[in-house]
Structure formats: C-alpha cells, structure tokens
Structure 1
Amino acid sequence: MSTATPATRFLDKAGIGYELYEYDYGGGDGPIGLQAAEAIGWTPERVFKTLMLEVDGKPACAVIPSDRSLSMKKVAAALKAKSAKMMDPAKAERLTGFHTGGISPFGQKKRVPVVFDVTVTEVEAPVVMNGGKRGLMICLEPEPGIAALAASVAEVSVL
C-alpha cells in the first residue's frame, strides 16, 4: 500500500513529524474508528475520527474520539453557527478528495473550518487519526496538527 496521500503530503510540507499505521480496512459492521483502534491496538479515546458537517449550510470538519458521538448543538456553538448536521457522504468525498472511511482533517481538497474535541488535549499524546486512505492511520502530537490547520478546540463530543 502506498502511504503517500494528500494528508501525509500536507504534514510533510508543514514539517510535522508523524508515524503511520496500516491495517486491513474491512468496512464491515460497526464504527470504523473503533475498528481501526482495535486493529492497531490503541485505546479508542486516543484514536480520533474525522466527521464532515454542514454548519449553517457551510462545510466544516469535526475531529472526535472514536468512542464518542458528535453533539450537533455543541459543534454548532463551537463554530459560532445556529445549526449543524452531518454532511452527505458523497458530498464529503467530493469536497475532501478522500473516500469515506479514509477522510483525514489534513490535506483536504478544500480548506474548511476544523474543530477538535477538547479531549485531544486531555488524553495521553500522541494520538491517531485517519491518514487519508482507508486502512492508513497517522500517529502524531496533536498540537502541531491543530496549529497547521488553524483549528479550534472545544467540547463537541458526548459519550
């Protein structure tokens, strides 16, 4: 499997160090983030999933732990919007240039506002998130990635 993706190229260009983990992406039943955590042997609270949204009708991205759910009310508030809803998967793929199950917050075709759940600063670092391809995960310190995306950090998830 080639490990060069728009996400890894984004991190390389930004000078951010990372490690890659590959696993057999099955797609199958259950949440993809939890499958990835199990496959690479990491605890779910340190494996983050990327969710594409529409806030007040505009695209945005939320990055939350794989064992949590996104609060639409909290993410709308964090992005100073009135409403939020999940983006249609086909639209998310067109917008990001990634396939669902492989969407990374890094290297998306179109830059959109990004918010990381506050837990990213509370769990043991490094953390893991999608590397821009199904079955490819990026392990990195969260702060440089957050800074490179000019992302915000807020409480946007619930158990």
Structure 2
Amino acid sequence: MTPAISQLKKQKIEFSIHEYEHDRDCSNFGEEAAQKLNFDPAGVFKTLLVSDDKQFFVAIVPVTGTLNLKRAAAALKVKKLRMADAKEAERLTGYLIGGISPIGQKKSLVTCIDQSAQAFEKIYVSGGQRGLDIGLAPRDLGLACRNANFADIGERK
C-alpha cells in the first residue's frame, strides 16, 4: 500500500487500482501506463513539480501533452515558473520519478489540475510507484490534493 492509497482510504474517496508490468527501459511513464492498461491517453494524467524559486507547486496535465509554464504561473498566481529537477521532486514528494502521485505526498503543495480532466468521469494518475495507477473522479482528485484548482495549464502535442 502506498501513501496515496492510504490517504484515499482515510478520506473515504472512491478509487480503483490498476497495476501493470513497468518496462525498466521506458522513460515515458504516463504513456506506458495508458498503453499497457488500454486507457484513453487523454484521460491519463502526469504529476509535475514546478517552482517559482520561493516555493514548489504540483501541476497535473494529460500525458498526451505538456505543461504550459506561463499559464500555470498565472493559474498559481506567481510571476514565473520552472520545472523542478528530479532530486527536488523526489525529496518533496517522497516518491520516485515515474511513480510520483499527486496524492499522499510528503509535503502538501498547492496543486493545479488541467481543466481537461473535468471532461472525464474518471481519470488516472500515478498511485505512488511505477506500474501502479489510480482511477478516480476529477473532483475527488481535487479534494485529495487539498482542494486543488482546475485551470487551462496543458499544452496539446
């Protein structure tokens, strides 16, 4: 059981668990999850950490796109953002890259979810380790992430 699953159970949030065999040679974790679990990739979301050099934030966007740093900065009400490096992300979340869940992180960070998530009944995010995804309603993800806000922060590929 991961911290993400523990937190969802504690909050009594309905979710599903989806496991798959992670390929060690694969570095595109979200797309691998979508493919191996046979999910619509637009409904599978990746967890990214960003910083304005004063504080860190979580940005959640579809694996089919990228994060638009300017729109994310506006949504988070900061001047400018940069991507956090891998060591920072792992230290702050307590998870390894490729298995960073937006839920149950070591430190509770302000979170923004791409508004495209709201078009789905259920979306999928990392469950806290490589090869493990959690499915839940976007609204419930927002609650699990300490009332995250939704904004147009994603960039379609």
Q: TM-score with structure 2 length normalisation?
A: 0.95
Match of 1:131 among 118, 127, 134: 127
Q: Structure 1, residues 69-116: CA drift from partner, whole Å, max 9, x if none? A: 000001000000001111010111011000000000100000000000
Q: CA deviation at 1:57?
A: 3.0
> How many angstroms does 1:31 deviate by?
2.1
- Equivalent of residue 90 in structure 1, options 83, 87, 90: 87
Q: Could you say what the CA RMSD is over the residues aligned between the two structures, in angstroms?
A: 1.1
Alignment of 1:141-152 (within 5 A): 141-149=137-145, 150-152=147-149
Matched with 1:69 is 66
Work out whether residues 27 and 101 of structure 1, in 8 Å CA contact, stay in contact via their aligned partners in 2.
no
Bigger drift between 58-67 and 139-148 goes to 139-148
| Contact 2:29 2:130 (C-alpha < 8 Å) held by counterparts | no
Runs of 5+ consecutive residues of structure 2 not aligned to the other structure: none
8 Å contact from structure 1 (residues 23, 136) kept in 2: yes
Residue correspondence of structure 1 range 1-159 to structure 2 within 5 A: 4-29=1-26, 31-122=28-119, 124-149=120-145, 150-159=147-156
TM-score (norm 1): 0.93
Unaligned runs of at least 5 residues, structure 1: none
- Partner SS for 1:24: coil
Greater CA drift, 45-54 or 55-64 = 55-64
Q: Secondary structure of 1:158's match?
A: strand
